[in-house]
Structure 1
């Protein structure tokens, strides 16, 4: 099932999408900050029918790799992205200097 899934960047909508054919099944949303140098990730979701397949991790990996390739930084306001970065120290260098995670 997951071999049909593709991930695309949709910059005009400020998001990365998971797609199963023509159907959007998940996304991670961001805001552009600091004159385009920072992507502030706000929300990540995967449709319930696709949960438990590791797709959120694949989506965030794709997004963060794309941010890195563009030479940008992130602010992980999204709890999932923040936890992902904590679990994967090789992405911690992407976090914008001075970022303080919001308290929940």
Structure 2
């Protein structure tokens, strides 16, 4: 089921809604030209439905549209980017090598 992903600039987070109900969020810190992605949380009752991946993908697309790079501090976001290399270009250049190294070690 497709989620509605919304950017809540005031709270510095991307929010996932299913049928008008908040089911999760991805928090970030605005660093100017980059966003530090700090935490992803999905309502436990909504777990196992792929909502976390939809939320991260929606947030990354939103940040891409804003022209921001990302620093994935959240392990879920880092893992998502490793599995979806089309988003690696969004990762701040100083962090890309670290993600690539982690990917090789996990194989």
Match of 2:26 among 15, 25, 28: 28
Q: For this pair of structures, how many residues does the alignment match?
A: 98
Structure 2: unaligned runs, 5 residues or longer: 100-107
Match of 1:55 among 51, 58, 70: 51
> What is the correspondence of 1:39-78 to structure 2 with a 5 Å cutoff?
39-78=35-74
Q: Give me the TM-score of the superposition, normalised by structure 2.
A: 0.84
Q: Which residue pairs with 1:6 in the alignment?
A: 4
After superposing the two structures, state which structure 1 stretch, 16-25 or 78-87, moved more: 16-25
Distance 2:58 2:26 in 1: 10
**1:92 correspondence with 2:91:** no
Structure 1: unaligned runs, 5 residues or longer: none
Q: Which residue pairs with 1:37 in the alignment?
A: 33
Distance 2:4 2:91 in 1: 26
Q: Could you say what secondary structure the match of 1:59 adopts?
A: helix
Q: Give me the TM-score of the superposition, normalised by structure 1.
A: 0.86
Q: Could you say what secondary structure the match of 1:12 adopts?
A: coil
